[in-house]
Structures are given as C-alpha cells and as structure tokens.
Amino acid sequence: MATSVKPAAPAAAAPANGKAQGGVKKKVVVISMMALAVMNVTTVMSLRGLPSQAVYGLSSIFYYVIAAVVLLIPTALVAAELASTFPEKGGIFRWVSEAFGPSWGFAALYYEWQSIVVWFPTVLIYASVAFAYIVGSASFDAALAGNKFYVIAVVLGVFWAVTLFTFRGMQSSSMLSTLGGLFGTIIPGAILIVGAGVYIALGNPVHLDMSTGLIPKFTDINGLVLAASIFLFFAGMEMQAVHISDMKNPTRDYPRSLFLATVVILSVFILGTLAIGVLIPVKDINLTQSLLVAFRDLWAGLHVPWMGPVMAAMLAFGVLGQVSVIVAGPSTGLLAVGKAGYLPKFFQGTNKNGIQVPILVFQGVIVSILALALTVLPSVQSAYQILGQMATIIILVMYVVMYTAALRLRHTQPNKPRPFRVPALWLVGSVGVIAAVAAFILSFVPPQQIATGSPVLYVGILVVGSAIFLGIPFVIYALRKKDWKSGDTGFAPFDWQTEGRKPSAVSTWPNGVAPAAPPADHEPATPAAA
C-alpha cells in the first residue's frame, strides 16, 4: 500500500461540542486545514511504486489524475461524511455495521487490516533492494537485489525485528516512523525531482519517451493492468477522515485540505515518475530496482556517485520507519473490535505496554508465509507484482463496501445530522464503485511487462488467495461466541440497536434525534439483529 504513515488506531474524533458520549467533558482538539492536509499527504505518499508507472511515460500523468478523481477524492469525501455522522468509536467497522450489520462491518475492518498484511512483503522487498544498493558495484547490487533467497532473508529479518521493536510500545514506533517519513520519503522525493531537473539542464541524455502522448491507448488491455495498480497508491486517505469533527469549520476547511493534499500528492507522484523516466530507458525499468538505479544514475550524472549509496541508505531507513508504525497501527483497530466480541480471547491479549502481541505474532506468521512464496515464483519482480495486486484486490472490495454503506445510510437514516455532507453523493459513490470494480477485474490479468511465469499460476494464486482472504472474516463471525466479549469495551450501541430495528429498516427518528441510549458497554451486535 502506498502509505508512509498510518494512524495508531481508528479512535473516534472528539465531537465538535467538546463532549464525549455520555456527557463527559472532553478536551476539544482543533485541527487546522493545513495540518489535516499534511496528515493526508504523509498517510498516502510513498516513492516505492513510482517505477511501475514510469513505463507509461507521459501517459502516466493521465492515469494519476484519473485515479485521483475516481478513487482518492471520492474516498476522502465519503469517509468524511461517515466519520462526521458516526463519530463514535469504531471507524469503518461502525460505518458499515450501521448500514449492513456487524458481519459486513467486521469484514470491512478485516479487509483494511488484511490488505496491509499482504502488502507488507512488497514494501519489505523494496527494503531488501535498498539495502543491496548501499554497498558494492552496480552489477553486484543488481544481482543481489534479484536473488530470491537474499530477499527472503531480508524480508523476514526486518519484519520480525520491527515487530519485536514494536512490543516496546507505540511511542517508539511513532518516533521511528516520523524520522523515516522525513528522511526516507519527503527529502528523497524532493531530491529526485529537483535533481532530475538539474540533470536535464546539464545536458545529460533524457530517456523519457515523449512520443507516447498524454492519452493512453485504451485498446491495450495489458497496458491497463499495471495502471490499475495505481489505485493502491492512493489507498489510505479515508483514515484521516475521523478527524473531521476536530476541525473548526469542517464544511469549508475539509474540502480545502483535501484539495491541497491532492495537489501535493499528484505533483510528487507525477514529477517523481517522470524523473525516473528521464533517468532510465523504458526497456530497463525494473519494478523493484529502478528507483535505486535512478538515484544512482542521477548522482553519477551530477559527478557525485558516492551519494548513490547514501540515498539507498535513506530509502532503507524510510522503509523501517514506514513498517514500524504500520506493524502495530491497523491491528490496534482490530484489537478494539475484537474485544467487543469478534475475536477469540487469545487474540485480545496485550503486553505491559498495551501492544496486541498475539495479533502481531499471527500477522507475522502470515507475512512469513507470503514471503516464502518467493521460492515458487519465477522472480522477485513477479512476487512483488502478485502480492501488490492481491493487496489491491482486497482494499478495493473494502472501498466498494464503504461506498455502498454511505449510499445505503442516506436511505435508511435520511434525518441523521451530517456535519459534513457530500454533494451529489449518488454520483460520487457510483463513480467510486464503478472505478473500483473495473480495477478489481483488471487486477486478475497478468501483465506482459513482467515475467510472472505461467499465466495460469499467476491468476490461480490471485483467485485462490483473494477468495481465502475475503472469506476469512465471515468464517470468524459465524464461529464467534458470547464469551469472546471483554468487560468494558467502550463501544456505543449502533443506531439501529437503540431504535430496535434491523439495519435494513428505515429509521423513524424525527430529525435524527435518538432516545436515551443504553450504556456504552452495550453489546455491539446480537445474533438475532445481525
């Protein structure tokens, strides 16, 4: 996933009136328009995936803009309405559960977590390449980075080292993540873009194919396959929507922060992708190595070749920071919902630092199994592509569920106060669903640009893997037991529970005003209502 920082937990934002549920006074935190824009940028932006779009030359600009229009912006807008309408604890679990019941709510939360787990090996593969380029000659670096056993060793070693480090608590992970985001993403991104401009100004050869034009050939299905992976670049914008209630004027400032963040993200993605195209011929672009090669060639062209390994070290450090916060962050939300009765007691355990050790260990086992898939795939690139596509498939399903939940809630709870209301939600939601479904279908087509081995094996792995991952939350939900629920979960009841109706029924609350709510520890879902 193209994220560089993830929030530690999907905790609810403080209501604008400064009172938490139950009338308890809560300190109001006001987030400025600029601050939220920066939070969105750091959540979404990453340099790791730029080489996959550099093969398209100028037409990559078209793909980036379209993906922003049909995914990035709709996701942020829809999540903002849901977060401001349902600010209680739970995030996407609560949003979807209000619309379709807790089985789908748990599935949506699980998909968000599972997509990140599947995505882990891809970013760690990138880390192994960065480590390889710190020392050695160009030929040695390339050979080492392409060695499957070296990559497996680094992936497993780094992931488990970061996981053990996370056991110390979120404060340590957050500090490493902040430094990693600055020195491993923001600074290298600026250097890549500015350096490419200087490289051109000095008269060095430009490899970017200017003949491709801005508009791609839509008849080339194989060309669209890799372009579909761009949707994973923009995943994560919905995570900061929980802070919309902390803004002084969300109706005015949230769209502004969204616009500013989108401009910054698009600018870095587009200029960074073109910079790689300038430095590396299309035929030589490699999904896992080209960013490192671009920095090496850039500094060689500027006659300071020793800076190449320095940039590789910075990028490797950035991955460590990125992984450190993502290892614990998303699983924290899974722990909170699990304690409400959706995970066995074993997975609800934490250590003295409040870290969900059993979930992290289970997460590590899945990552280790996925990493070992390298041994049966023809190349590091093919593993990188397959795992990236599988993560894309899972997160796209989550987005479809989120869009349809927002549309359904407009019907079932028309009178519910919405501090932020998406204009023309039916149009915005429909565009998001259609785009996600189209990208979902394209994700199963083997790209000709990458040696993925047998097309049957490629598609088979994606179909079987996706089916297993998409079905797991429903199996867990079907097997849940009453004694899974912990003591005080802090979960408020759903609106449909308080009103005594099913999620599919239309609310009868006048003006969206609810009667007196049960205690916050109310059982979040009953088998009969679900």
Q: Over the stretch 397-433, which tens digit does the pLDDT of each residue have?
A: 999 999 999 999 999 999 898 888 998 999 999 999 9
d(CA 269, CA 75): 18
Tokens of 94: 């609560």
Burial label, 471 (beta-carbon count in 10 A; 0-12, 13-18, 19+): exposed
Please give the residue that has the higher pLDDT: either 344 or 168: 344
Q: So what's the pLDDT on residue 73?
A: 86
- Does 4 map to a domain? no
- Does 388 map to a domain? yes
State which H helix or E strand residue 282 sits in: none
Burial label, 89 (beta-carbon count in 10 A; 0-12, 13-18, 19+): buried
Contact 320, 179 (CB under 8 A): no
Q: Which of 140-149, 390-399, 447-456 has the highest mean pLDDT?
A: 390-399
Q: Which residues lie below 8 Å from residue 104, measured CB to CB, with a gap of 6+?
A: 96, 97, 401, 405
* Mean pLDDT for the stretch of residues 313-333: 77
d(CA 395, CA 273): 23
Flag the least confident range among 199-203, 360-364, 514-518.
514-518
d(CA 216, CA 321): 36
pLDDT bin (cut points 50, 70, 90) of residue 513 is: low
Is the pLDDT confidence value at 18 over 70? no
CATH number of the domain enclosing 421 = 1.20.1740.10
pLDDT bin (cut points 50, 70, 90) of residue 449 is: low
* Mean pLDDT for the stretch of residues 198-216: 80
Residue the block writes with tokens 């850039």: 298
DSSP 190-221: HHHHHHHHHHHHTTPPP---GGG-SS--TT-H
Please give the residue that has the higher pLDDT: either 423 or 178: 423
pTM for the model stands at 0.80
Q: So what's the pLDDT on residue 526?
A: 44
- Does 526 map to a domain? no
Tokens of 161: 């080292």
- Does 87 map to a domain? yes
d(CA 89, CA 16): 15
- Does 178 map to a domain? yes
DSSP 42-65: HHH--STTHHHHHTTTTHHHHHHH
Burial label, 517 (beta-carbon count in 10 A; 0-12, 13-18, 19+): middle
Please give the residue that has the higher pLDDT: either 99 or 206: 99
Residue the block writes with tokens 């400032």: 253
pLDDT bin (cut points 50, 70, 90) of residue 221 is: low
In the chain, the number of structural domains is 1
- Does 60 map to a domain? yes
Beta strands in 17-123, from DSSP E residues, in sequence order: none
Please give the residue that has the higher pLDDT: either 261 or 378: 261
- Does 234 map to a domain? yes
Compute and round to an integer the Cα radius of gyration of the chain. 23
Q: Across the chain, what does the average pLDDT equal?
A: 79
Per-residue model confidence as pLDDT tens digits over 74-83:
888 898 889 8
| Three-state DSSP class for residue 240 | helix
d(CA 118, CA 363): 10
- Does 25 map to a domain? no
pLDDT bin (cut points 50, 70, 90) of residue 529 is: very low
For the chain, what is the total number of helices (H) and then of strands (E)?
A: 20, 0
Is the pLDDT confidence value at 227 over 90? no
Is the pLDDT confidence value at 49 over 70? yes
Q: Give the domain range for residue 208.
A: 33-488
Q: So what's the pLDDT on residue 136?
A: 65
d(CA 472, CA 345): 18
Q: So what's the pLDDT on residue 365?
A: 92
Q: So what's the pLDDT on residue 34?
A: 83
